[in-house]
Structure 1
Amino acid sequence: MTTGTSKAGMMMELSHDSTLRELTTDQGVLRYHEAGDGQPLLMLHGSGPGVTGWRNFRGNLARFSEHFRCLVLEFPGFGVSDPADGHPMATATDAVGRFLDGLGLHQVDVIGNSMGGFVGTRFALDNPDRVRRLVTIGGMGRNFYSPGPGEGINLLMEFTENPTRERLVQWLYSMVYDPAMVTEELIEERWAQATEPDTLAAARRMYGKAAFAATAAAAARSEEAPLWAMLHGLRAKTLITWGRDDRVSPVDMSIVPMRTIPDVELHLFPNCGHWVMIEQKAAWESTVLAFLTRKDAA
């Protein structure tokens, strides 16, 4: 991207098509959006009907690309990158390594929304020298006081089992504090992609009721510790961001990671649901930029 443009020019340039890139790998094409220069910042999207990396982070790119080379990866199984067999969480984690290797990047900063936070954390635990700083947006940890799964996850499973517009709208309302954010435009763009056959099939591997139950049962039998029990091994400086009114991943889920990650900060945003980077955009951007650009102590 050309440097030295005005903020207004930057906003005009950062369209979907102008930022879209492709990376061919041995397991298919990974698509991503790129903007800005400098320290690479990998941005990982969440899950849910009609989600894409562009839709999660399009509103934040202009601000972050003033400081970083932003790379918004589209995970396999969500209708943008080439599909991959297997559970979407596992294929997403694999895709991160393939993506960074394909671009020749050894170390990056990472922002992960919900599922993307889990994926970024998993990658940072497995590759401690490749993630300098990690920012998560909700969804990290485990339920402490609240029942699990949360309301939003249950609505997501209901939609996945029987994808109707009414159930999509119910799920969208669970994602936000302010219902006015659920516009007809949002509903239409989510509906079109969520009901695409391959995307819906991938969603059912993750959020179909049988698949969800099987994953929980396998985790209970596994000898490997769950992710939340391994957070004490995370070496990256970490910022956890959370909407106080999150109905998908209740805020008490932040207690275990806040207590166990060695170098961690927690920031809660009021009047805010699961999409903190959208619903509290300006405050979230300021908080995260301050964390990512802070100089390390000598």
Structure 2
Amino acid sequence: MTFTESPTLTAESTSRLTRTKHFRIHYHEAGEGHPIVLLHGSGPGATGWSNFRPNIEALAAHHRVLAVDMPGWGESDTQTAETGRDHVETLLQFLDEVGVEKAALVGNSMGGMTAISTAVRHPDRVSHLITMGAPCPGPSLFSAGNGPSEGLKVLIEAYQEPTSENMKRLVRIMCFDPALATDELAALRSAAATAHPEHLRSFLEGATATPAESSTAAFFGLAAQLSSINTPTMAIHGRDDRVVHFENSLRLTTVVPDSRLVLLNRCGHWAQIEHASEFNRLVASFVGAH
């Protein structure tokens, strides 16, 4: 397992801002070439940088890399009932603002949901679909249980009480190797979360939204449309993911025609962090080969 910081790029040197119809969007950008857009997960304190800092520089060697703070996370504006919570529409507006017609979408967890939804709804904007630890619409045969997973319960508790102790619990449950759940990473997530209490409130409000208002409900209604995805697809999943069971990625690659599954043993919910070097090779090779 590997976990390495970017040796020369920093959060400050790659920081950018743009504005869409409803939001000011913060993102990190590096490199040139075919665009790769990195979409983070939903945990408190998640940002484009905290989710992908071991990956941005490696991928930027041959690609234009954009790691986005989605609305309600990081330094981007928050979501409200008035602005809506449609991350697909926000992503399309972001791509328009930064001059990207078609991109490889790389999504972790919630970011994977956005990437899958975009591939279904707007296939002309997606050149490659890459998910890590992402949910997938459809019935679960082996991993179904009553209520949220172990990891999602900890995630919700960290939103409700973003203490350093709860952030450390969150980081630990995301990783297979406890050595990667460092105090530094927990502190980074805690600082990002507590800096924007409006983001925490927005997430908890969204979690109780009605099905008609919920982007999550819309996502899980896409099961019958997954087979229409013609985009080259790669699902990466940790065998030991305690947040989203790997059965989700198996289901995705069962129904998407041009797809493959990479299942990593001794890996939790953050394949891009726990197996950074392998993840970087997989993504660069996949995008470069298609």
If the length of structure 2 is used for normalisation, what is the TM-score? 0.88
Which residue is equivalent to 1:170?
169
Q: Secondary structure at the match of 1:97?
A: helix
Relative to structure 1, is the Cα distance of residues 267 and 191 closer, same or farther in structure 2, using a 3 angstrom cutoff?
Answer: same
The within-5 A match list for 1:124-143 is: 124-141=119-136, 143=140
Are 2:233 and 2:259, in contact at CA under 8 Å, matched by a contact in 1?
A: yes
Residue 152, structure 1, aligned to residue 147, structure 2: no
Q: In the aligned structure 1, how far is the partner of 2:150 from the partner of 2:40?
A: 20
Task: Give the C-alpha shift of residue 216 in structure 1.
Answer: 10
Number of equivalenced pairs: 280
Q: In the aligned structure 2, how far is the partner of 1:241 from the partner of 1:89?
A: 29
Q: Secondary structure at the match of 2:130?
A: strand
Are 1:87 and 1:205, in contact at CA under 8 Å, matched by a contact in 2?
A: no
Q: Secondary structure at the match of 2:61?
A: coil
Are 2:101 and 2:125, in contact at CA under 8 Å, matched by a contact in 1?
A: yes
If the length of structure 1 is used for normalisation, what is the TM-score? 0.86
Residue 294, structure 1, aligned to residue 280, structure 2: no
Relative to structure 1, is the Cα distance of residues 87 and 175 closer, same or farther in structure 2, using a 3 angstrom cutoff?
Answer: farther
Which residue is equivalent to 1:198?
198
Which residue is equivalent to 1:7?
none
Q: Structure 1: which 5+ runs fail to align? A: 1-9
Of 7, 13, 23, 1:11 maps to: 7
Of 63, 77, 95, 1:82 maps to: 77
Task: Give the C-alpha shift of residue 268 in structure 1.
Answer: 0.7
Of 108, 124, 128, 1:113 maps to: 108
Which residue is equivalent to 2:263?
268
Q: In the aligned structure 2, how far is the partner of 1:144 from the partner of 1:216?
A: 27
Q: Structure 2: which 5+ runs fail to align? A: 1-5
Are 2:240 and 2:267, in contact at CA under 8 Å, matched by a contact in 1?
A: yes
Residue 259, structure 1, aligned to residue 228, structure 2: no
Task: Please tell me the residue identity of whatever aligns with 1:74.
Answer: D
Task: Give the C-alpha shift of residue 285 in structure 1.
Answer: 1.4
Task: Give the C-alpha shift of residue 109 in structure 1.
Answer: 1.0
Are 2:26 and 2:74, in contact at CA under 8 Å, matched by a contact in 1?
A: no
Q: In the aligned structure 1, how far is the partner of 2:92 from the partner of 2:166?
A: 35
Q: Secondary structure at the match of 1:129?
A: helix
Higher relative contact order (CA 8 A, sep 6+): 2
Relative to structure 1, is the Cα distance of residues 260 and 204 closer, same or farther in structure 2, using a 3 angstrom cutoff?
Answer: same
Task: Give the C-alpha shift of residue 286 in structure 1.
Answer: 1.4
Q: Secondary structure at the match of 2:249?
A: helix
Which residue is equivalent to 2:63?
68
Which residue is equivalent to 1:6?
none
Q: Secondary structure at the match of 1:48?
A: coil
Q: In the aligned structure 2, how far is the partner of 1:102 from the partner of 1:216?
A: 28
The within-5 A match list for 1:11-50 is: 11-12=7-8, 14-50=9-45
Relative to structure 1, is the Cα distance of residues 89 and 289 closer, same or farther in structure 2, using a 3 angstrom cutoff?
Answer: farther
Task: Give the C-alpha shift of residue 28 in structure 1.
Answer: 3.0
Task: Please tell me the residue identity of whatever aligns with 2:152.
Answer: I
Task: Give the C-alpha shift of residue 88 in structure 1.
Answer: 9.9
Relative to structure 1, is the Cα distance of residues 18 and 223 closer, same or farther in structure 2, using a 3 angstrom cutoff?
Answer: closer
Q: In the aligned structure 1, how far is the partner of 2:188 from the partner of 2:274?
A: 18
Question: Rg larger in 1 or in 2?
Answer: 1
Q: Percent identity?
A: 35
Q: In the aligned structure 2, how far is the partner of 1:202 from the partner of 1:217?
A: 13
Q: In the aligned structure 1, how far is the partner of 2:253 from the partner of 2:87?
A: 24
Relative to structure 1, is the Cα distance of residues 115 and 109 closer, same or farther in structure 2, using a 3 angstrom cutoff?
Answer: same
**Structure with the higher fraction of residues in helix conformation:** 1
Are 1:76 and 1:88, in contact at CA under 8 Å, matched by a contact in 2?
A: no
Q: In the aligned structure 2, how far is the partner of 1:33 from the partner of 1:112?
A: 15
Residue 228, structure 1, aligned to residue 223, structure 2: yes
